[in-house]
């Protein structure tokens, strides 16, 4: 049967025909873009529905972190709170998974400690607060992943950090 988790879709509307292939999220987003070109009123809904845009997120986190084979690495010249560092690293895990660099988008407490440079106890104390705020969720394997709300808030954090970096230069 083809690659695991791949979706293939073919759409036709009048003379417009298009094929989509990729993971479910990619195909869904592509189909929405196609339909919004045919039915512009759908654009109104897109204004109120948050869908993580990988290209925009990449622009926002560029310079703040890098996605390496060892995991998402925060720029050592940036001093972040534990909360912001955890969110940024989990966003990096999400991005790394979406682009095929990582097999999973979750990180353990130990991995979060190593990647953020924060003590394991600090990370362990911060995670329940992030879960309560809906920014992070614990998954069945005991790891943690960023939520859609967490992605959105971390985008804001990245913009704020970049603004501060530009002011201090």
- Say how far apart CA 156 and CA 168 lie, in whole Å: 19
Q: Is 34's pLDDT higher than 80?
A: no
Q: Which residues contact 101 (CB under 8 A, 6 or more apart)?
A: 67, 69
CATH topology of domain 54-168: Arc Repressor Mutant, subunit A (1.10.10)
- The better pLDDT of the pair 6, 138 is held by 138
Rg (CA), the chain: 18
Q: Please compute the mean of the pLDDT values over residues 113-127 and round it to a whole number.
A: 96
pLDDT tens-digit readout, 38-54: 666 666 666 777 778 88
Q: Please compute the mean of the pLDDT values over residues 50-77 and round it to a whole number.
A: 90
- In this predicted structure, what is the pLDDT of residue 167? 53
- The better pLDDT of the pair 130, 99 is held by 130
**For residues 145 and 90, is the Cβ–Cβ distance under 8 A?**
yes
- Say how far apart CA 29 and CA 1 lie, in whole Å: 23
Domain boundaries, the chain: 6-46, 54-168
- Say how far apart CA 124 and CA 108 lie, in whole Å: 10
Q: Please compute the mean of the pLDDT values over residues 83-101 and round it to a whole number.
A: 94
Q: Is 64's pLDDT higher than 50?
A: yes
pTM attached to this predicted model = 0.73
- In this predicted structure, what is the pLDDT of residue 1? 41
């Amino acid at each position: 049967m083809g690659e695991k988790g791949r979706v293939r879709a073919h759409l036709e509307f009048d003379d417009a025909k298009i094929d989509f292939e990729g993971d479910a999220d990619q195909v869904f987003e592509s189909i929405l873009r196609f339909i919004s070109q045919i039915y512009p009123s759908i654009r109104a809904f897109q204004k109120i529905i948050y869908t993580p845009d990988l290209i925009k997120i990449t622009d926002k986190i560029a310079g703040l972190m890098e996605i390496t084979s060892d995991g998402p690495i925060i720029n050592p010249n940036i001093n972040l709170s534990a909360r912001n560092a955890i969110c940024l690293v989990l966003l990096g895990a999400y991005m790394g998974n979406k682009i095929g660099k990582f097999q999973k988008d979750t990180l353990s407490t130990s991995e979060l400690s190593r990647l953020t440079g924060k003590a394991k106890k600090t990370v362990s104390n911060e995670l329940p607060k992030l879960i309560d705020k809906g920014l992070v969720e614990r998954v069945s394997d005991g790891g943690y992943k960023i939520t859609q709300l967490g992605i959105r808030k971390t985008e804001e954090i990245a913009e704020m950090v970049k603004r501060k970096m530009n002011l201090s230069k």
